[in-house]
Amino acid sequence: MTTNLVPLIKKAKTGDKKAMLELYQAFNPLLLNQSYDPKRRINQDCYQELSLQFINAVHAFDLEKYTKK
């Protein structure tokens, strides 16, 4: 994965499904890690909600803060 995510986010925000998938796959380990319950089982509801919130966050990301002017 590239260290500069801005170009990938820019593509994902315009509807590029491959770019969104690449971002999602890159952050999926973090989403899974945050979805474990106290017994170390994955809470599927939590995982789905985190996944949805991740996609929403990509679409809401303010690119102007991170692009060179």
What is the residue-wise DSSP string for 2-46?
-S--HHHHHHHHTT-HHHHHHHHHHHHHHHHHTTB-TTS-B-HHH
What pLDDT sits at residue 69?
58
Query: Would you state the pLDDT for residue 39?
Result: 92
- pLDDT tens digits, 14-37: 999 999 999 999 999 999 999 999
The full set of domain ranges for the chain reads 6-61
d(CA 34, CA 7) in angstroms, rounded, equals 26
